């Protein structure tokens, strides 16, 4: 039985979640969590790095160190919160902040920032990082990586689907004794967050209240649903490089009906719900759907999902023993555990890699 810390900063780019886990028999028990937001200047740099721009290398190099320093602050705060010393932690699993993810290029690559050398030096704890590139070196998408954890943590005798709704939404299909399946379904919160920030200067739509005040535009929704990504077969993954403000503007240009900003927000919420439900309906005999990530707190989105799922029960992962905001961090604590215990942690059926592999590199404080 060992203690691990998982660090997750996802495509919503709202900051870092540090989650303390006790792991025994490959199952994680969450013990505590700290969230630190990105400072505005760093967040601005990260948004710019998601698209080609001026002086990218210097901007990325500086952000790499800034993120690692913020991560270390989150780790040290978590240790203080739980009265622990650094030597009580077996390892930190650090996802890093994705700024580019291009698995389908001629030369596929993915970039996560948050220098693990700085992180281990500042915390005194071994760090496992760079989880995605081994899978991509083996021909995989490098994402999603959480289905192996979801299988170990949540699988029962019945088919269950776990949906993480961060900036991008992804699902895992798990059942005890089966190989897990999964893929990115498309945008989660990223387009909604962008739209409300642009119009109301809010970082997210609390409870989905703004979306609930608008009316869904069926022409706009149909246009967005016709995007080639949604018809693409798995394995597949995506990110802010694809579903971003430029993508949204191109969709809005196709619609002539007058729309209020709230109508667009309502339609973006419907897009996320529709694409998740379409993905879930590909699988038969689903006993339950559990959601996690920031989208689990958007009541309008949850309502749309329940309507789209019909009789299939929907609830948050709190019903499985992990707070929905802690699941992704716990997954990377588990991935660090898998690395130290020499366990294959990618799922070729999910990512398309040629074989299973040990994921991540180990960085030591000494």
For 286-328, write each residue's pLDDT tens digit. Answer: 999 999 999 999 999 999 999 999 999 999 999 999 999 999 9
Give the span between the Cα atoms of 37 and 213, in whole angstroms.
Answer: 28
Exposed / middle / buried, residue 229 (Cβ in 10 Å: 0-12, 13-18, 19+): middle
pLDDT of residue 1: 60
Alpha-carbon dihedral sign for residues 258, 245, 251, 187: negative
Q: What is the pLDDT of residues 174-200, one digit of tens each?
A: 999 999 999 999 999 999 999 999 999
Structure tokens at 285: 């005999």
Tell me how far apart the alpha carbons of residues 17 and 237 are, in angstroms, rounded to a whole number.
Answer: 22
Angle at 294 between CA 356 and CA 158, to 5 degrees: 50
Query: Which residues make beta-bridge pairs with 102?
Result: 109
Q: Please give the pLDDT value at position 10.
A: 84
Q: Which residues of the chain have pLDDT under 50?
A: none
Asked if the peptide bond before residue 42 counts as cis, ω within 30 degrees of 0, the response is: no
What tokens were used for 23?
């792991």
147-320 and 2-142+325-363 share a CATH fold: yes
Q: For the chain, what are the domain ranges? A: 2-142+325-363, 147-320
pLDDT of residue 85: 97
CATH of span 147-320: 3.30.420.40
Q: What is the pLDDT of residue 355?
A: 97
Among 46, 318, 275, 269, smallest CA distance to 170 is for 275
Q: Of the CATH numbers 3.40.30.120, 3.40.50.300, 3.40.50.170, 3.30.420.40, which one belongs to the domain with range 2-142+325-363? A: 3.30.420.40
């Amino acid at each position: 039985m060992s203690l691990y810390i998982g660090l997750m900063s996802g495509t919503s780019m709202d900051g870092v979640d540090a989650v303390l886990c006790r792991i025994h028999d490959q199952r994680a028990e969450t013990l505590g969590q700290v969230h630190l937001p990105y400072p505005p200047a760093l967040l601005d740099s990260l948004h710019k790095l998601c698209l080609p721009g001026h002086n990218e290398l210097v901007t990325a190099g500086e952000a790499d160190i800034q993120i690692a320093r913020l991560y270390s602050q989150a780790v040290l705060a978590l240790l203080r919160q739980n009265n622990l010393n650094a030597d009580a932690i077996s390892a930190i699993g650090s996802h890093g902040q994705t700024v580019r993810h291009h698995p389908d290029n001629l030369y596929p690559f993915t970039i996560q920032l948050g220098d693990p050398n700085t992180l281990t030096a500042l915390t005194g704890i071994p760090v496992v990082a760079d989880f995605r590139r081994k899978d991509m070196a083996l021909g995989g998408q490098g994402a999603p990586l959480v289905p192996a954890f979801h299988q170990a943590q949540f699988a029962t005798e019945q088919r269950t689907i776990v949906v993480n709704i961060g900036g991008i939404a992804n699902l895992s299909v798990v059942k005890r004794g089966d190989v897990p399946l999964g893929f990115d379904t498309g945008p989660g919160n990223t387009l909604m967050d962008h739209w409300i920030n642009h119009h109301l200067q809010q970082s997210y739509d609390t409870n989905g209240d703004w979306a609930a005040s608008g009316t869904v535009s069926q022409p706009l929704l149909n246009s967005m649903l016709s995007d080639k990504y949604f018809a693409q077969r798995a394995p597949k993954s995506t990110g802010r490089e694809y579903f971003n403000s430029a993508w949204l503007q191109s969709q809005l240009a196709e619609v002539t009906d007058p729309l209020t900003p709230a109508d667009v927000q309502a339609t973006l919420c419907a897009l996320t719900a529709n694409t998740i439900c379409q993905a879930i309906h590909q699988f038969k005999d689903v006993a339950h759907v559990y959601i996690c990530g920031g989208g689990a707190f958007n009541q309008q989105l949850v309502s749309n999902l329940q309507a789209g799922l019909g009789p299939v029960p929907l609830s948050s992962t709190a019903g499985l023993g992990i707070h929905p905001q802690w699941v992704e961090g716990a997954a990377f604590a588990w991935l660090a555990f898998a690395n130290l215990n020499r366990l294959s942690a990618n799922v070729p059926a999910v990512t398309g890699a040629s074989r299973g592999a040990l994921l991540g590199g180990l960085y030591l404080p000494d």
